[in-house]
Amino acid sequence: MLAWCRRHLTDPGLDPERIAAAHNVSLRQLYKVCADAAVSLEQWLIAERLERARTELLSPRRRNRTVAAVARDCGFSDPSHFTRRFRQAYGLTPREWRESSRRGR
């Protein structure tokens, strides 16, 4: 199930209801499976999307993409929410992360 989610991370409509439907299980069963595996589905999705965005922000091919475009490409529909979550996870805004990595090269 997590592998399927990784393949669909860029879809901003990826949510528990869609995941459950894709795997022919009820929402309740989906949450039970996640709880049994000690996985918070929503937090896992956000963490995976953030990690993808962090990598994309460093990519030379994505250098000219705006932070909002990278956020959108990684499944975040709200750039402000993306920036808040990124700072919370990594201690820097996406722009600061990109700039600090450029200075470090």
> How far is the C-alpha of 93 from the C-alpha of 87, rounded, in Å?
5
| pTM for this prediction | 0.86
pLDDT in tens, the chain (105 residues): 889 999 999 998 899 999 999 999 999 999 999 999 998 999 999 999 999 999 999 988 888 899 999 999 999 999 999 999 999 999 999 999 998 877 665
Burial label for 86, CB within 10 Å (0-12, 13-18, 19+), is buried
Give the dihedral sign, CA 52/71/2/31: positive
- Decide: 87 and 79 in contact? Cβ < 8 Å: no
- Decide: 92 and 84 in contact? Cβ < 8 Å: no
Supply the pLDDT for residue 104.
62
Supply the pLDDT for residue 60.
84
Q: Token pair for residue 53? A: 């965005």
Q: Token pair for residue 1? A: 């199930």
Supply the pLDDT for residue 62.
81
Domains of the chain: 2-103 (1.10.10.60)
Supply the pLDDT for residue 64.
86
